[in-house]
A and B are shown apart, each in its own frame.
Chain A
Amino acid sequence: MARVHIKGRDGIELDIDALPGTALMDALRDANTGVEGTCGGMMSCGTCHVYVQADWLVRLPAKSQDEADMLEAIAEIVTVKPESRLSCQIPMTEELSGLHLEIGPPT
Chain B
Amino acid sequence: MGTMNLKMLLESKELERCPFPIPVGWFHVDFSENLKVGEIRNVELFGQEWVLFRTESGKPGMSDPYCPHLGAHMGHGGKVCGEHLRCPFHHWEYDTSGWCKSIPYAKVMPPVVKKQAILRTLPMVEKYGMLWAWYHPQCEPPSFELPYIAEIEDATGYAGTRRGSWTANTCIQEIAENGVDTAHLKFLHGAPGIPPVDASYDGPVMKLDIGKGYIVGTAYGPGLNVMRFNQHGITATMISYSVPISLDKTQMNMSFRHVDYAEGTPELHASKKVIDHMIGAAEGEESAGFESVDFVVWNNKKYRPNPLLCDGDGPVLQFRKWFKQFYPGQEDSTKI
Contacts and interface: CB of A to CB of B under 8 A. Distances in A.
Interface of A: 39, 42-46, 66, 69-70, 72-74, 76-77, 107
Contacts of A46: 108
Interface of B: 107-112, 115
Given A42-B110, A44-B111, A73-B111, 4 more contacts: A45-B110, A69-B111, A74-B108, A107-B108
Nearest to B113: A44
B108 A66 contact: no
Contacts, number: 27
Contacts of A66: 111-112
Nearest to A47: B108
A43 B107 CA distance: 15
B107 A107 contact: yes
A5 to B, nearest CB: 28
The 10 closest A-B pairs by CB, nearest first: A44-B110, A69-B111, A73-B108, A73-B111, A70-B111, A74-B108, A46-B108, A77-B107, A107-B107, A107-B108
Nearest to A74: B108
Contacts of B111: 43-44, 66, 69-70, 72-73
A44 B107 contact: no
Interface of A is mostly: loop
A60 to B, nearest CB: 20
14 contacts: A42-B110, A43-B110, A44-B110, A44-B111, A45-B110, A46-B108, A66-B111, A66-B112, A73-B108, A74-B108, A76-B108, A77-B107, A107-B107, A107-B108
Contacts of B115: 69
Contacts of A44: 110-112
A96 to B, nearest CB: 26
Contacts of B112: 44, 66
Contacts of B108: 45-46, 73-74, 76-77, 107
Nearest to B111: A69
A58 to B, nearest CB: 25
Contacts of A69: 111, 115
Contacts of A76: 108
A27 B32 CA distance: 56
A39 B109 CA distance: 12
B71 to A, nearest CB: 15
A45 B110 CA distance: 6
A39 B115 CA distance: 18
A46 B107 CA distance: 10
A42 B112 CA distance: 10
Nearest to B109: A73
Nearest to A75: B108
A77 to B, nearest CB: 6
A77 B109 CA distance: 12
Contacts of A107: 107-108
Nearest to B110: A44
Contacts of A74: 108
B107 to A, nearest CB: 6
Contacts of B107: 77, 107
A107 B110 CA distance: 13
A4 B112 CA distance: 31
A96 B300 CA distance: 66
A69 B112 CA distance: 9
B36 to A, nearest CB: 35
A54 B112 CA distance: 29
A70 B106 CA distance: 13
Contacts of A43: 110-111
A63 to B, nearest CB: 13
A66 B116 CA distance: 13
A77 B107 CA distance: 8
A43 B110 CA distance: 8
